[in-house]
C-alpha cells in the first residue's frame, strides 16, 4: 500500500542527437541537477565532457559547445527542481543534507545515542518516490463498499493460512488470552488482515520510507512530516536497542514492521519479548507477534469476555438515523437509547448493560450495513482507525474460530 511517473511515450520522444553532443549535454544536466536538487547534500562530481574526435571539424565542436552552453544558461534561470518534480531523480541518498544532520543531532541528544552512529545510519537513507506516491489519499469519488472489502479478507486462502498459523501457535495464543484477556481469534484476525500471515509485510527499507516521509513529505495532502519524524526517531532508538543497522529492516511504504505491522513507536511502547530470548522478533510470526498484539490491545482498553458488536437495523426516520450514525465508533450510548431512537437490535443486545456506538458500513449502491459496536470494537479501531478494518479483523477471526472448531477430517480448505 506504487505508482511512478509515466515516461514519455514514443510519439513525443525527441530525435536523437549525435553521441558526443548527447554526452556533453548530459554532463551539464547532471551538474545542474545535483546543484539544484541536492543542495548541501554531497553530490557526485559530473563526468568531464568527452573531447571531440581528432577528425571533427573545429566549427562542429564550437557549435556543439555553444549549444551546450545555451542549455546550461536556460537551465540556470529555471526554477530549482523539487525532489517530487517529474524531472527529479527516481531516488537519491540523503547523505549529509543540513536538515538531516540537524535531525541527527536532536535525536542523539534527546535519546542519548551516539551522534556519529545516528548520522551514519541516516546518511544511507534514500528518497523513494514510490513511497511519496503511495502515501497520497485515494482518488475522490470512489464509493466505500464493505461487502467488497470483506470479501478481500474473508476468503479461502487467507482462512486456510490462518488456521495453519493458529494450529502452530495454539499454546501461545491460549497463554496470551490468559494473561491479557485477548482471545486467539482476534489476534489471528489482526495478523491475517495486516500481513496475510507474513506473506505481505512490505518490501521497502523502513529507513528509506520513514526518511522520505519525514524530510520530503509530498504536497497535495495534509502534512504529516512531524509524525514521520517522530517515527523515524523511534525507529533509530529501536535499532540502537536491538543492535541493528537501520538499513536492514524492511516494511510497508509507511514504515510499518513485521507480521503485526507495528509502527516504530508502537514497537517501543507495546512490543513484548514473549519468548524471553532478549529480542523482540516481529518478522518470524511466533510468540513475540502474539504477545505484542495482545499487549497492544490490552493497553488500549480491551475488556475480557466483552462482546465486540451486535448487528443492528437503523431507525426508519432519516434524522434519527443520521443522529445515531454521527456517534460512530465511540461507545457512549446505552442500548435503551438506541432502541428509543428506533434502532432494532437482537435479543442478546437487550441484556447488555455497557455502552455502544452506532456504525454505518456503506456497500456502494446497496443498502449499508449497521452494527452497534461496544468499547471493544472501539479498541480494535485503535489498531487502525477504520470501522471497515475493525469489522474485517473481527469477521476473519470469527471465520477462523469456526474452522478451528471443526474436526480436521471435516475441513475443506484451500491450500495457502
Active site residues: 194
Q: What is the DSSP string of 256-301?
A: -BTTTTB-HHHHHHH---TT-SSS--SSS-SHHHHHHHHHHHHHTT
C-alpha pair distances (Å), 89 with each of 32, 73, 210, 290: 12, 21, 18, 41
| Residue reference for cell 527499507 | 205
Residue in 71, 220, 72 with CA at minimum distance from that of residue 138: 220
Residue in 379, 331, 370, 327 with CA at minimum distance from that of residue 354: 331
31-56 as b/e: b if 16+ CB within 10 A: bbbbebbbeebebeebeebeebeeee
Within 13 Å, how many C-alpha atoms sit on residue 139's CB side? 2
Q: Which three cell numbers stand for residue 314?
A: 437503523
Residue in 157, 159, 267, 163 with CA at minimum distance from that of residue 206: 267
Q: What is the DSSP string of 326-369?
A: TTEEEEEE-HHHHHHTT-B--HHHHT--S-EEEEEEEETTEEEE
Where would I find the H helices in 154-216? 156-168, 170-180, 184-195, 206-215
| Residue reference for cell 431512537 | 341
Strands 356-363 and 204-205: unpaired
Whether residue 257 contacts residue 267, with contact meaning beta carbons closer than 8 Å, is answered with yes
Q: Give 410's DSSP letter.
A: G
N-term to C-term CA, the chain:
22
Amino acid at each position: 500500500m506504487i505508482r511512478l511517473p509515466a515516461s514519455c511515450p514514443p510519439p513525443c520522444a525527441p530525435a536523437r542527437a549525435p553521441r558526443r553532443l548527447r554526452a556533453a549535454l548530459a554532463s551539464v544536466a547532471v551538474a545542474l541537477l545535483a546543484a539544484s536538487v541536492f543542495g548541501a547534500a554531497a553530490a557526485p562530481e559530473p563526468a568531464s565532457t568527452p573531447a571531440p574526435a581528432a577528425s571533427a571539424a573545429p566549427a562542429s565542436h564550437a557549435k556543439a559547445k555553444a549549444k551546450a552552453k545555451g542549455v546550461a544558461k536556460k537551465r540556470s534561470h529555471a526554477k530549482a527542481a523539487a525532489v517530487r518534480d517529474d524531472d527529479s531523480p527516481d531516488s537519491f541518498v540523503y547523505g549529509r543534507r543540513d536538515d538531516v544532520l540537524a535531525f541527527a543531532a536532536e535525536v542523539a541528544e534527546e535519546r542519548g545515542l551516539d551522534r556519529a552512529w545516528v548520522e551514519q545510519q541516516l546518511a544511507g537513507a534514500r528518497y523513494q518516490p514510490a513511497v511519496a506516491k503511495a502515501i497520497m489519499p485515494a482518488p475522490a469519488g470512489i464509493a466505500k463498499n464493505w461487502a467488497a472489502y470483506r470479501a478481500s479478507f474473508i476468503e479461502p486462502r487467507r482462512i486456510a493460512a490462518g488456521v495453519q498459523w493458529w494450529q502452530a501457535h495454539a499454546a501461545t495464543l491460549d497463554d496470551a488470552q490468559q494473561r491479557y484477556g485477548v482471545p486467539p481469534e482476534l489476534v489471528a484476525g489482526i495478523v491475517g488482515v495486516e500481513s496475510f500471515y507474513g506473506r505481505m509485510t512490505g518490501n521497502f527499507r523502513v529507513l528509506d520510507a520513514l526518511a522520505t516521509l519525514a524530510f520530503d513529505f509530498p504536497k497535495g495532502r495534509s502534512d504529516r512530516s512531524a509524525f514521520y519524524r517522530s517515527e523515524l526517531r523511534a525507529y533509530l532508538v529501536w535499532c540502537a536497542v536491538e543492535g541493528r543497522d537501520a538499513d536492514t529492516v524492511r516494511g510497508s511504504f509507511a514504515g510499518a514492521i513485521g507480521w503485526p505491522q507495528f509502527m516504530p513507536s508502537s514497537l517501543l511502547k507495546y512490543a513484548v519479548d514473549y519468548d524471553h530470548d532478549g529480542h523482540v522478533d516481529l518478522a518470524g510470526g511466533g510468540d513475540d507477534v502474539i504477545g505484542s498484539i495482545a499487549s497492544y490491545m490490552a493497553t488500549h482498553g480491551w475488556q475480557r469476555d466483552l462482546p465486540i458488536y451486535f448487528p443492528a437495523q437503523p431507525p426508519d426516520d432519516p434524522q434519527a438515523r443520521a443522529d445515531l450514525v454521527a456517534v460512530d465508533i465511540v461507545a457512549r450510548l446505552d442500548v435503551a437509547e438506541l432502541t428509543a431512537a428506533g434502532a432494532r437490535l437482537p435479543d442478546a443486545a437487550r441484556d447488555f448493560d455497557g455502552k455502544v456506538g452506532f456504525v454505518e458500513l456503506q456497500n456502494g449502491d446497496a443498502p449499508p450495513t449497521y452494527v452497534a459496536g461496544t468499547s471493544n470494537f472501539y479498541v480494535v479501531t485503535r489498531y487502525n482507525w477504520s470501522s471497515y478494518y475493525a469489522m474485517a479483523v473481527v469477521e476473519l477471526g470469527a471465520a477462523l474460530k469456526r474452522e478451528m472448531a471443526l474436526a480436521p477430517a471435516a475441513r475443506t480448505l484451500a491450500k495457502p
